[in-house]
Amino acid sequence: MIIDWHTLNREPSLPALYVRAAMRRKITGTTLPDTGLRCWVEVDPNRLAAYRKVCGFADNGLLPPTYPHILAFALQMQLLTAKEFPFPLLGLIHLSNRIRVLRPMGGVHRVRASVQVQNLQPHAKGATFDLVTSLDDQLGTLWEAESRMLCRGVKLEGEPVEEVLASTLDMMEVTRWKAPADIGRQYAKVSGDYNPIHLSAASAKLFGFPTAIAHGLWNKARTLAALSDHLPTANVEIEVQFKKPVRLPSEVTLLASAAGSSGDFQLVGAGDLEHMTGHWRPIA
């Protein structure tokens, strides 16, 4: 797919995009747009500090490996609520996320964020696509990511293909933490992601959940913060698959293999309920 890139002069307004998202409830097609969005964004020190606090990252002078998602969130919202995008944003399910940190993210103040969608595929419950995000500075690409999203009810031709991350290394308990009832609201304040399924039991029930659930990217961020001594700071790819949601409030346990250039990890709840599996690898 050849991407038709549009460069914005400033970040989109999130309140207006949430209104647009709330008004889109129907599937309008089965073809992804070839439009991509780009915009220069600034790193706000206060917002970054608040994000570190909510997610458990120490201030080591580097951007947390998950923070670029926050910098690009408004662009992602603009793309996924555009008239040309065929699926309603509300109801999309985040299945997996892979990030690549190409260079150490220290001293980052102004970067260009880029977003696009690609790789529409049939799924047993509908269709999946990849939301692709990247960050560039004056030296080139700094960070890139793919979030695989599921839209239920879409019918595509072809056989569904589902990838499964399998752990290959021995793991042991690293730590455990409690996900409090209000962590969805805390994360929303620092990320801008006010998805109703994360905010309260009442709003989550409107979408079929018995209680609020933690953001998948908060689970990943909190995990990477706990694994900061295990992980390389650059030339690393970190991939996760989201399994059973973390219902709020609850306690979770993080398992991981030993520190090194490669490793596996797993986030589990009571009764060994699997919430997230993942690994880190050198970038090939």
Same domain, 152 and 179: no
168 pLDDT above the threshold of 80: no
The reported pLDDT for the residue numbered 264 is 96
Whole-model pTM: value is: 0.95
Count of domains forming the chain: 2
The reported pLDDT for the residue numbered 139 is 92
Same domain, 8 and 128: yes
Note the pLDDT tens digit of each residue in 105-146. Answer: 999 999 999 999 999 999 999 999 999 999 999 999 999 999
At position 283, the amino acid (one-letter code) is I
The reported pLDDT for the residue numbered 260 is 86
Share of the chain above pLDDT 90, in %: 86
In angstroms, the CA 57 to CA 64 distance is: 7
**pLDDT interval class at 224 (50, 70, 90):** very high
User: What values do phi and psi take at 9, rounded to 5?
Assistant: -80, -25
Same domain, 147 and 8: yes
Same domain, 181 and 137: no
Same domain, 195 and 60: no
Same domain, 63 and 194: no
Note the pLDDT tens digit of each residue in 45-84. Answer: 999 999 999 999 999 999 999 999 999 999 999 999 999 9
Same domain, 146 and 6: yes
H or E element, residue 144 = strand 140-152
Say how many Å lie between the first and final Cα of the chain, rounded: 23
Of 111, 131, 163, which residue is a domain's last?
163
CA 167 and chain centroid, separation = 21
Measured CA to CA in angstroms, residue 163 lies from 117, 184, 280 at distances of 19, 28, 16
Same domain, 67 and 115: yes
The reported pLDDT for the residue numbered 160 is 84
- CATH code of the domain covering residue 71: 3.10.129.10
Same domain, 65 and 181: no
Same domain, 53 and 183: no
State the residue range of the domain holding 14. Answer: 1-163
In angstroms, the CA 143 to CA 132 distance is: 11
Name every residue whose Cβ is closer than 8 Å to that of residue 11 and which is 6 or more positions away in sequence: 39, 41, 74, 75
Of 139, 163, 187, which residue is a domain's last?
163
Same domain, 172 and 159: no
Share of the chain above pLDDT 70, in %: 100
Same domain, 227 and 279: yes
Of 142, 163, 184, which residue is a domain's last?
163
CB 244 within 8 A of CB 275: yes
